């Protein structure tokens, strides 16, 4: 019982540390089925189970991740650092999740949390055995290399004045839908043929994350607008 209570307390500490406090995501809760499934025979919480815990506590608020092989320049040092550090506790983010201007603050926040979790890991190794919270933080050099990679492959936002007058067909829907999760992407990021599967993938992501869904017609209207803008 004592071990279970310690793990429950640590889970709460982990959530507060990683999420920046429960007020950031007010719906987070203890995973369904309680904490016991997280404890293996050796009393260790493995990294894959930590990721599952994050998903369940955040009630689906984490966006779907990308596959390592689909990252820009997947064999580069920056891509490997992204996989190594950023997928320790949540889905693998794509560089286009944020703009170049947004990534420095995001990376600083994430590295700070990894450093705190790394220190907590040292404490737990002494109390309950190695491997309880095996989170590592990048070195300063790795942090700089990672930021360079993220900014080089970041989301390129659209310039509002370049999208046409407010009554342009599909523009209002494009603004309203895509700005729910990120800056408006530059229509020239993809070709006309590429936009259709991209928009459909975003629609599925919205469903996974509990965002208001767009209809088939609204999806088609957004794709038509983007195809027109690419020309």
Q: Show the tokens assigned to 1.
A: 């019982």
Calculate the alpha carbon distances from 136 to 5, 89, 122, 125, 153 in Å: 25, 10, 11, 14, 24
pTM, whole model, 2 decimals? 0.62
For residue 210, what pLDDT is reported? 82
For residue 124, what pLDDT is reported? 56
Q: What is the pLDDT of residues 160-195, one digit of tens each?
A: 777 878 888 889 999 999 988 888 899 988 888 999
pLDDT at 228 over 50: yes
For residue 40, what pLDDT is reported? 39
Q: Show the tokens assigned to 200.
A: 């459909």
Cα 72 from Cα 75, distance rounded (Å): 9
pLDDT category at 149 given cuts 50, 70, 90 is very high
For residue 119, what pLDDT is reported? 81
Residue 99 backbone phi and psi in degrees, to 5: -80, 170
Contact 74, 68 (CB under 8 A): yes
Q: What is the pLDDT of residues 11-35, one digit of tens each?
A: 454 444 444 433 333 222 223 333 3
Average pLDDT over the chain, rounded to an integer: 75
pLDDT category at 83 given cuts 50, 70, 90 is very high
For residue 201, what pLDDT is reported? 87
Look-up of token digits 């993220």:
150
pLDDT at 157 over 60: yes
pLDDT category at 54 given cuts 50, 70, 90 is low
User: Higher pLDDT residue, 67 or 132?
Assistant: 67
Contact 110, 117 (CB under 8 A): no
């Amino acid at each position: 019982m004592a071990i279970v209570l310690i793990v429950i307390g640590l889970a709460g500490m982990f959530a507060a540390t990683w999420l920046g406090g429960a007020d950031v995501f007010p719906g987070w809760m203890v995973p369904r089925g309680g904490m016991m499934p997280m404890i293996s025979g050796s009393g260790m919480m493995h990294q894959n189970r930590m990721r599952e815990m994050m998903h369940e506590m955040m009630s689906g608020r984490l966006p779907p991740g990308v596959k390592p092989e689909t990252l820009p320049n997947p064999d580069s040092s920056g891509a490997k650092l992204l996989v190594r550090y950023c997928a320790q506790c949540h889905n693998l983010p794509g560089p286009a999740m944020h703009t170049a201007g947004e990534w420095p603050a995001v990376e600083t926040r994430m590295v700070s949390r990894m450093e705190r979790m790394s220190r907590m890991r040292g404490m737990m190794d002494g109390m309950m055995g190695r491997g309880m919270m095996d989170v590592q933080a990048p070195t300063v050099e790795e942090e700089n290399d990672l930021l360079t990679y993220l900014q080089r492959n970041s989301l390129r936002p659209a310039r509002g004045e370049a999208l046409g007058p407010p009554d342009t067909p599909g523009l209002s829907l494009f603004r309203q839908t895509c700005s729910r999760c990120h800056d408006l992407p530059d229509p020239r990021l993809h070709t006309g043929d590429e936009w259709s599967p991209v928009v459909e993938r975003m629609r599925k992501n919205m469903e996974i994350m509990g965002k208001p869904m767009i209809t088939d017609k609204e999806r088609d209207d957004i794709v038509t607008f983007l195809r027109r803008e690419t020309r």
